[in-house]
Amino acid sequence: MSERVLLLHGIWMRGFMMARIAQHLAAQGYAVDVVDYPSLSKGADACAEDLRARIGACSDDAVHVVGHSLGGLVALLATQGDGPCGRTVCLGSPLTGSAAAKTLSNFAPWMMGQSRERLLAGLGEWRGTREVGVIAGRVPFGMALLLGGLDGDNDGTVAVAETRLPGIRDHAVIAATHTGLPFSDEAIAMTANFLRHGRFADAA
């Protein structure tokens, strides 16, 4: 059985942010593609349409998607409908909307480009057929130290509560910052376990 994993970075970032998790998944036998997408100039919804087409063009038996931050929103938007089987993991994604984005939009909305509206709105709930797992961080070090506006546990950019989307299969909270999630050994092991088994438990 051939299985492919598409990796998506977050806003303001590039594909190199996903290099560590890409290396780990490739070592486990997955075909891995790091997707560089224009998070500012094109926007999350338009990028999701491109990703949907890319997934549909894959000939693999399963096409999984792993997205960090905004990349998780793009991943879910792209996989809501019919398509190849596979699972999706979101790392620190503000799936119910971002309070930090709301604060930032008050004085520098241009910083979020065409993805601003999606970051503010998030998604209502997950109604797709894919199994979705979400990993949130709880080490509060990031831009929210300057912006404020995050209540409860958070990773410095996204509140844990903002990652809890109704309808997902599994959810976990680990000791990591927002930027640190794609580099976290724990998050990487849990991601690999979810892609293989549909759950985070039993990861190293």
How far is it, in rounded angstroms, from Cα 193 to Cα 204?
9
Tell whether the model's pLDDT for residue 106 goes beyond 50: yes
Give yes or no for a contact between 156 and 69, defined as CB atoms under 8 angstroms apart. Answer: no
How far is it, in rounded angstroms, from Cα 133 to Cα 89?
5
Sign of the CA dihedral with 40 first, then 46, 48, and 49 last: negative
Tell whether the model's pLDDT for residue 77 goes beyond 50: yes
Residue 204: pLDDT band (50, 70, 90) is very low
Give yes or no for a contact between 43 and 115, defined as CB atoms under 8 angstroms apart. Answer: yes
Residue 12: pLDDT band (50, 70, 90) is confident
pTM of the prediction? Answer: 0.94
CATH (residue range 3-197)? 3.40.50.1820
Residue 126: pLDDT band (50, 70, 90) is very high
Tell whether the model's pLDDT for residue 113 goes beyond 90: no
How far is it, in rounded angstroms, from Cα 20 to Cα 81?
29
Min mean pLDDT across 53-62, 107-116, 119-128, 150-159 is at 107-116
Residue 15: pLDDT band (50, 70, 90) is confident
Mean of the per-residue pLDDT values of the chain:
92
Give the pLDDT confidence of 148-187 residue by residue, as tens digits.
Answer: 668 899 999 999 999 999 999 999 999 999 999 999 999 9
Min mean pLDDT across 12-21, 23-32, 106-115 is at 106-115
How far is it, in rounded angstroms, from Cα 78 to Cα 167?
16
How far is it, in rounded angstroms, from Cα 148 to Cα 62?
40
Residue 52: pLDDT band (50, 70, 90) is very high
Other C-beta atoms closer than 10 Å to the C-beta of 127 total 9
